[in-house]
Structure 1
Amino acid sequence: MGLTLGLSTALSGLLTSQKGLDVISQNVVNVNTKGYVRKVMTPESVTVNGMGAGVQTGKIIRSVDEGLLQDIRRQTSTQGMLDTLNQYYPRVMDLFGQVGDNNSISHQMQTLQSSFQSLAAQINTPAMQTAVMQTCLDTANQLDQMSESLQSLRLEADRGLQTVIGLANEQIANIFDLNQKIVRASAIGSEVGDLEDKRDNALTELAKYMDIQYFPRGDNSVGVYTKSGKTLVDKGAAELTHVATTITDAWMTKAGGNFNSITVSTDDLLRDITGDFTSGEMRALIDLRDKIVPNLQAQIDELAAKMKDVVNQVHNRGTTYPTTRSTMSGTRQFMDPNNPDINAGIPAALVADPQTIWLSGDDDVTIAIFDPNGTEVASTTLKTIMASNAYNDAAGNATALDISDTPATPGVKLTDVAAKIQNWMQAQTYQNSTLSSASASFATGKFELNTGHSSLSLAFRDQVSSVKGSNAEDATINFDADGDGTADQSVDGFSNFFGLNDLFTKTVPNSISDSNILHQDFTLSTTRTIRLLDPSGQIGNAISIPTGSNLAAMAAAINKQTQTNESSTLSTAAVTMTSDATITIYDSYGTITGFPITIDSATTDNLNDIAAEINNVGGSVQAKVVQTGPNAFKLRVWDSRGTPLTMSVEAGAIGSSNLGTYLGMQQANLIQATVVPDGSGYRLRIRQTDDQELFVAADQDNATPPTSFITEMGLRASSSRSAGNLSVRTDIQGSPSLISRGAMKYNADLQQYALSEGDNTTTMAIANAMAAKSQMASAGNIYAGSYNFVEYAAASISVVSTNASHAKDQLAYQKTLSTALNNQHTSFSGVNLDEEVANMINFQQAYSASAKVISTLQQMLDTLVNIIQ
Structure 2
Amino acid sequence: MSLTASLNSALTGLNVAQRGLAVVSDNVANVNTEGYARKEVVQTSITLSGLGAGVDVEAVRRVTDQFLNREFRIATAEFHRFDTAGSLNDQVVSLLGDPTGDRNVVALMDKVLTEAGTLAANPETTAVRASAIEAMQRLTEDVDRLADGVRDLRRQADLRVNERISDVNVLLTEIQSLNQRLSSQPNDDAKVNLIDQRARKLDELASIIDIQTTGQNADRVLISTTGGLPLIDQNARQLVHGGANTGEIGEVFQPISIQRIDPATRIATTISTNVDDQILSGELKGLLETRDGSLNDLSIELGAFAGRLADEMNRVHNEFTAVPPPATLTGNNTATLAGDPHGFTGVAAFHAFDANNNIVATATIDFGAIGGTVGDVITAVNAGLGGSGTLSLTDGTMRLSAAGAATGVAIAQDATTPSQADGRGFAHRFGMNDLVRTSAGPHFQTGVQTGTAHGFTGSATFELIGPENQRPRATTIDMGAIGATVGDLVTQLNTDFAGVASFALSAEGELVTTPNGAFSDFRLEMSNDATERGTSGTTVQSFFGIGTEPKANVAAGMEVRGDIVSNTALLSLASVDATGAPAVFNGDNAGAVALQSLSFVTSDFEGAGRLSAMNGTLAEIGGEFLGRAGQAARDIEVRTTDREALMEDLALRVGEVSGVNIDEEMAQLIELQAAFNAATRVISTTNEMIDALLQI
Count of residues paired in the alignment? 649
How far, CA to CA, are the matches of 1:715 and 1:166 in structure 2?
A: 30
Partner of 1:799: 628
Query: Does residue 1:816 correspond to 2:648, yes or no?
Result: no
Partner of 1:366: 349
Match of 2:660 among 831, 847, 854: 831
* Same amino acid, percent of matched pairs: 24
User: For each residue in 1:402-458, what CA deviation from the matched residue of structure 2 results, as whole angstroms up to 9, or x when unmatched?
Assistant: x427xxxx844433432332233235xxxxxxx4xx433223432222222576432
Partner of 2:383: 423
Partner of 1:404: 368
How far, CA to CA, are the matches of 1:764 and 1:680 in structure 2?
A: 44
- Partners of 1:113 and 1:771 within 8 A in 2: no
Gaps of 5+ in 2: 262-268, 463-469, 485-491, 497-510
Partner of 2:501: none
Following superposition, the deviation at residue 770 of structure 1 comes to: 4.3
Partner of 1:103: 103
- Partners of 1:743 and 1:759 within 8 A in 2: yes
Following superposition, the deviation at residue 680 of structure 1 comes to: 8.7
Query: Does residue 1:693 correspond to 2:538, yes or no?
Result: yes
Match of 2:287 among 285, 288, 291: 285
Partner of 1:196: 195
Taking the TM superposition and a 5 Å limit, the aligned residue runs for 1:652-667 are none
Query: Does residue 1:562 correspond to 2:478, yes or no?
Result: yes
Following superposition, the deviation at residue 173 of structure 1 comes to: 0.9
- Partners of 1:367 and 1:460 within 8 A in 2: yes
How far, CA to CA, are the matches of 1:531 and 1:233 in structure 2?
A: 56
The CA RMSD over aligned residues, in Å, is 3.6
Query: Does residue 1:355 correspond to 2:357, yes or no?
Result: no
Partner of 2:265: none
1:126–1:190: structure 2 CA closer, same or farther, 3 Å change rule? closer
Q: Which amino acid aligns with 2:241?
A: H
Q: Which amino acid aligns with 1:143?
A: V
Following superposition, the deviation at residue 775 of structure 1 comes to: 1.1
Query: Does residue 1:734 correspond to 2:566, yes or no?
Result: yes
How far, CA to CA, are the matches of 2:639 and 2:529 in structure 1?
A: 42
Query: Does residue 1:233 correspond to 2:228, yes or no?
Result: no
1:530–1:47: structure 2 CA closer, same or farther, 3 Å change rule? farther
- Partners of 2:419 and 2:425 within 8 A in 1: yes
How far, CA to CA, are the matches of 1:5 and 1:532 in structure 2?
A: 105
Taking the TM superposition and a 5 Å limit, the aligned residue runs for 1:48-197 are 48-186=48-186, 191-197=190-196
Partner of 1:273: 275
- Partners of 1:369 and 1:379 within 8 A in 2: yes
- Partners of 2:75 and 2:647 within 8 A in 1: yes
1:683–1:140: structure 2 CA closer, same or farther, 3 Å change rule? same
Query: Does residue 1:379 correspond to 2:368, yes or no?
Result: no
- 1:725 is paired with a residue of what secondary structure? coil
Q: Which amino acid aligns with 1:44?
A: T
- Partners of 1:680 and 1:780 within 8 A in 2: no
1:554–1:777: structure 2 CA closer, same or farther, 3 Å change rule? farther
Following superposition, the deviation at residue 253 of structure 1 comes to: 2.3
How far, CA to CA, are the matches of 1:861 and 1:298 in structure 2?
A: 93
User: For each residue in 1:185-205, what CA deviation from the matched residue of structure 2 results, as whole angstroms up to 9, or x when unmatched?
Assistant: 14x666521111111100010
Partner of 1:208: 207
Partner of 1:533: 454
How far, CA to CA, are the matches of 1:640 and 1:675 in structure 2?
A: 12
- Partners of 1:510 and 1:694 within 8 A in 2: no
Q: Which amino acid aligns with 1:740?
A: S
- 1:123 is paired with a residue of what secondary structure? coil
Partner of 2:391: 440
Q: Which amino acid aligns with 2:121?
A: A
How far, CA to CA, are the matches of 1:690 and 1:789 in structure 2?
A: 35
TM-score by length of 2: 0.85
Taking the TM superposition and a 5 Å limit, the aligned residue runs for 1:243-642 are 243-245=242-244, 247-254=246-253, 259-265=254-260, 268-321=270-323, 323-336=324-337, 354-360=339-345, 363-383=346-366, 403-404=367-368, 411-426=371-386, 435=388, 438-452=389-403, 456-463=407-414, 471-477=415-421, 490-508=422-440, 533-534=454-455, 537=456, 556=474, 559-562=475-478
- Partners of 1:245 and 1:260 within 8 A in 2: no
User: For each residue in 1:797-845, what CA deviation from the matched residue of structure 2 results, as whole angstroms up to 9, or x when unmatched?
Assistant: 2222222222223323332222221121112111112111111111111
Q: Which amino acid aligns with 1:417?
A: V
Partner of 2:507: none
Q: Which amino acid aligns with 1:448?
A: R
How far, CA to CA, are the matches of 2:191 and 2:444 in structure 1?
A: 61
- 2:237 is paired with a residue of what secondary structure? coil
1:108–1:510: structure 2 CA closer, same or farther, 3 Å change rule? closer
Q: Which amino acid aligns with 1:798?
A: G
Following superposition, the deviation at residue 150 of structure 1 comes to: 1.0
Following superposition, the deviation at residue 169 of structure 1 comes to: 0.9
How far, CA to CA, are the matches of 1:415 and 1:785 in structure 2?
A: 36
Taking the TM superposition and a 5 Å limit, the aligned residue runs for 1:650-799 are 681-685=521-525, 688-689=529-530, 692-694=537-539, 719-745=551-577, 747=579, 754-799=583-628
Q: Which amino acid aligns with 2:386?
A: Q
Gaps of 5+ in 1: 338-353, 384-402, 428-434, 464-470, 478-489, 515-527, 544-551, 565-620, 625-638, 644-670, 699-709
Following superposition, the deviation at residue 3 of structure 1 comes to: 1.6
Q: Which amino acid aligns with 1:562?
A: D
Larger radius of gyration: 1
TM-score by length of 1: 0.69
How far, CA to CA, are the matches of 2:406 and 2:440 in structure 1?
A: 33
Partner of 2:508: none
- 1:158 is paired with a residue of what secondary structure? helix
- Partners of 2:525 and 2:546 within 8 A in 1: no
